[in-house]
Amino acid sequence: MSNSFESFADLPLSLQSEAIREGEKLLDTQFVAATAADQRALTWSGFLIASATAAFGGGIALFKTKPPDIMIGFGALAFSVALLRSAWLAIKTVRPSKFGFPGNQPAFWLPAAWDCLGTSNRMERQARIDQARQLDERIRENAESAAEKAKIMSRSFDWAIWSTVGAGLLLAGLVTERSFHIFDGVTKIIKHISDGPSR
């Protein structure tokens, strides 16, 4: 990256200023978007934890009924664990991580902090190049971090959706079987076939 922005100084001064302004604006927007994403992830994980707690409580209650409903009870506990997995993925996205913030620390402008030897024009030129380079690096790093967190949040959504679909299908299947005794009929047919034709 050391020489990749040397040609930045070849741009007209007005374009240099505009490029730096837009870079600062984009960095600031990334910060706002990251804060909103963290809030969304915390809200989502809170909803999942509440749902998992309810499913867990329901599963335990089903084990204590007379007679205990083992199948639906275990289904509720499995659903609770799946929701907690989804919540954990969402929480991972809000854990502290490196982020490039807008602005610059005044100490970085001191002569000892960067190569600013030479004429005033040379110092201004080098300052603009360094500023553009730093903005570009921070924007790229933030974008990579945001893309990784977006993948994790997508997995959290997928876990929750497919867990709900799976639990719903299991519950519908159990209720249907209990209502129409499908397995009893299938068992009789299989037994009849295995016994062979009657004589």
pLDDT tens-place values along the chain, 199 residues long: 445 788 888 899 999 999 999 999 999 999 999 999 999 999 999 999 999 999 999 999 999 989 998 999 999 999 999 999 999 999 999 988 888 887 788 887 777 776 666 777 888 888 888 889 989 999 999 999 999 999 999 999 999 999 999 999 998 988 888 887 766 655 655 665 666 655 4
Number of structural domains, the chain?
1
Tell whether 194 is covered by a domain.
Answer: no
**Vertex 83: Cα angle to 80 and 87 (nearest 5):** 135
The residue segments making up the domain with residue 57 are 6-160
Residues sharing a CB contact under 8 Å with residue 134, sequence separation 6 or more, in sequence order: 104
Q: Is 13 part of a structural domain of the chain?
A: yes
Task: Classify residue 108: in a domain, yes or no.
Answer: yes
pTM metric for this prediction:
0.78
Residue 181 lies inside a defined structural domain of this protein: no
**69 is a domain residue:** yes
Query: H/E/C letters for each residue in 152-164?
Result: HHHHHHHHHHHHH
Is 104 a domain residue? yes
Residue closest to 38 by CA, chosen among 84, 83, 96: 96
